[in-house]
Structure 1
Amino acid sequence: MTEEKKKNELWEWTKVLLIAFGLAALIRYFLFTPIVVDGESMMPTLEDGDKMIVNKIGYSIGGPDRFDIVVFHAPERKDYIKRIIGLPGDHVEYKDDQLFINGKAYDEPYLDEYKAAIADGPLTEDFTLEDKIQRATVPEGHVFVMGDNRRFSKDSRHIGVIPFDEIIGNTSLVFWPIADFGIVR
């Protein structure tokens, strides 16, 4: 192989690697990114250390839906993972461990496991939106989020409502540990 052919082959491989790294960076920055669940606030749905994929493009196409699991920038300069409970204009209330949105009762099947396991009171304490954010409804451009482990979750009851522009994306795919691989709801 001549010296010029070696240089051309090296240049071709360099271009391929640069394109591959560039595409990987674009995908991670604009489309999907991994996240590691830190803490127990989303148990039993998500375990501490679960690795998930965050869909960053979903909300640029459509808005968030009730009960989506989202990742957002929290006030503590940390990313949190929680479940959307209230959408803009919603009045949120808990009474006797039952969620009411705009006066209508909603089932939360993802909490059934915890509710069945506790015997010393409700999983979610009674509250109204007015108690927590001093407003009757979730403001426009914001969501009210809660962790599934209601007794041990720092969420909108403590940090307030989350602006849409702080939401990184939604997530439902656990890819590690492999035994837990799959979609969570």
Structure 2
Amino acid sequence: MKSFIKEWGLFTLIVAIIIISRWLIWSPVTVDGHSMDPTLHDQERLIMYRTKDIDRFDIVVASEPDGNGKEKLIVKRVIGMPGDTLRFENDVLYINDEKVDESYLKEYRDAFAEDKLQSIYSYNKQFQSTAQIAPAFTLDSNFQPQFTVTISEGQYFLLGDDRLVSLDSRQVGSFSKDAIQGKIIFRMWPLNRIGLF
């Protein structure tokens, strides 16, 4: 009986730790859509670490109301921090008047320059049409390649990496710290792309 309790006691403790940590510390998340391509792909499975310690360029999970007033979770990248002034000029980002390299956009910006993403977007005619008439890869909600945004205190400006198809802070506004659930720390599926962020 002692050995049974000893073996199962340890197992029960491990299970309890996993369940409690799942509730308090981490959460599984599934990517829904193409707004974070090519960094994250549709239906990839991720692990989110619950934290309010958010840094620029973190990939975060935020909540926003959907069309029916229910909460939906989105996965985006933090571009603007509280108090920042962001300026985009023909695919070049300036943060507080300092030029910033967005290396995570290189593949899609190069493809945009080559063929306006027509080969990459071959799976979606609407994406192809949008890219075909776009004057740049990063546009504001009025389809303009030059725009400036000032972020209020306590707010974060979130953008998808696939700027032409992402619905993000350009359309819905900035996100409060309370709306940010945590940041992505690990990709667990598919197995050929597993790894830490």
The interval holding the TM-score normalised by the smaller chain is 0.7 to 0.9
Consecutive aligned runs of 4 or more in structure 1 exceeding 6 Å deviation: none
Q: Root-mean-square deviation (CA), in Å?
A: 2.2
Retained in 2: the 8 A contact 1:75–1:159?
Answer: no
Deviation of residue 18 (structure 1)?
Answer: 5.5
Aligned mates of 1:16, 1:182 — CA distance in 2: 28
Q: Does 1:141 align with 2:154?
A: yes
Q: What is the match of residue 132 of structure 1? A: none
Aligned mates of 1:181, 1:18 — CA distance in 2: 28
Q: What is the match of residue 44 of structure 2? A: 50
Larger Rg: 1
Aligned mates of 1:107, 1:72 — CA distance in 2: 24
CA shift digits 1:97-138 (9 cap, x unpaired): 111111111100000000111144421022221xxxxxxx21
Of 65, 68, 77, which aligns to 2:55? 65
Of 88, 96, 100, which aligns to 1:94? 88
Structure 2 SS opposite 1:169: strand
* Same amino acid, percent of matched pairs: 38
List gaps (5 residues or longer) in structure 1.
130-136
Q: Does 1:117 align with 2:111?
A: yes
Counterparts in 2 of 1:24-39, with a 5 A limit?
24-39=18-33
**Number of residue pairs aligned between Structure 1 and Structure 2:** 167
Structure 2 SS opposite 1:35: strand
Q: Does 1:155 align with 2:168?
A: yes
Deviation of residue 172 (structure 1)?
Answer: 3.5
CA shift digits 1:21-49 (9 cap, x unpaired): 43222111111111111110000100001
Could you tell me which amino acid in structure 2 is paired with residue 128 of structure 1?
T
Aligned mates of 2:18, 2:63 — CA distance in 1: 23
Aligned mates of 1:177, 1:31 — CA distance in 2: 23
Q: Does 1:178 align with 2:191?
A: yes
TM-score (norm 1): 0.81
Aligned mates of 2:185, 2:108 — CA distance in 1: 20
Aligned mates of 1:69, 1:85 — CA distance in 2: 10
